[in-house]
Amino acid sequence: MSARRFEGQAVIVTGAAQGIGRGVALALAREGAQLVLADRAALVEEVAAEVQALGAMAVIARSDLETWAGAAQLNEIAVAAYGRVDVLVNNVGGTIWVQPYQEYTPEQVEAEIRRSLFPTMWCCRAVLPQMVARKQGVIVNVSSVATRGIYRIPYSAAKGGVNAMTASLAMEHAQDGIRVNAVATGGTEAPPRRIPRNAQPLNAQEQQWYQGIVDQTVASSLMHRYGSIDEQVNAILFLASSESSYITGTVLPVGGGDQG
């Protein structure tokens, strides 16, 4: 296996400021990628500095990917910097609230869908024209095994949409030399988020519901544990690389045996 699988490739990583996104960005930098790091959070500037310290190129896009305008801007930044997008890693998403479905307000349901479905939809739409024109490209969507899980039904529905879009885009664009796959991440150990998805502290009931998610996640994994960021990153980079050249339309569960 080459240690520089992405030498000279232009790669967008969304949600690059924290967690899995940051891990993907740093791993790609070590393997020679030219990066566009997308995130609304100013923390992405720290990740760009880490990438550059590894000797890789990085530009920043502080784009709102829940909107079409933000995704189009991201594509424009990438093309202006590198002339193309070889790989798109759609990592934006994550449940905001933890509660039984009947507790969600209509506004919360819509916010969850905007957070965990629309960034992937819009970014795919933004990069596809130039990938089709070049007859090559790779898209890796970050999904979740929480398509079968409790207390985050809108998030589950959004990630189910990501899975469906992954399969259908792969069917539609295989003829264009474009591969589209997804990694369905399981529970993942990560440092506390420096910018939380929900700034409100959990009350006692919400803490019980959150513990319910943790317990269900561990029970659903055949390995009965959470994974590491590196274990998720390794799967994402495999699907992004030429090592998976005969794989498309696949949702790869990385959840210790939990198939989602």
3-state secondary structure (DSSP) of residue 84: coil
Tokens of 151: 């207390």
* Chain Cα centroid distance, residue 148: 18
Q: Which of 232, 112, 127 is nearest to 182 (CA)?
A: 232
Q: Which residues of 102-138 are buried (b: 16+ CB within 10 A; e: fewer)?
A: eebeeeebebbbbbbbbbbbbbbebbbeebbeeeebb
Computed over its alpha carbons, how large is the radius of gyration of the chain?
Answer: 17
At residue 139, what is the residue type? I
Q: What's the farthest any 2 CA atoms get from each other in the chain?
A: 54
Catalytic residue, candidates 101, 104, 151, 155: 155
Q: How many residues does the chain have?
A: 260
3-state secondary structure (DSSP) of residue 245: coil
Measure the CA–CA gap between 7 and 105, rounded to whole angstroms: 47
104 part of the active site: no
Residues belonging to the active site = 155
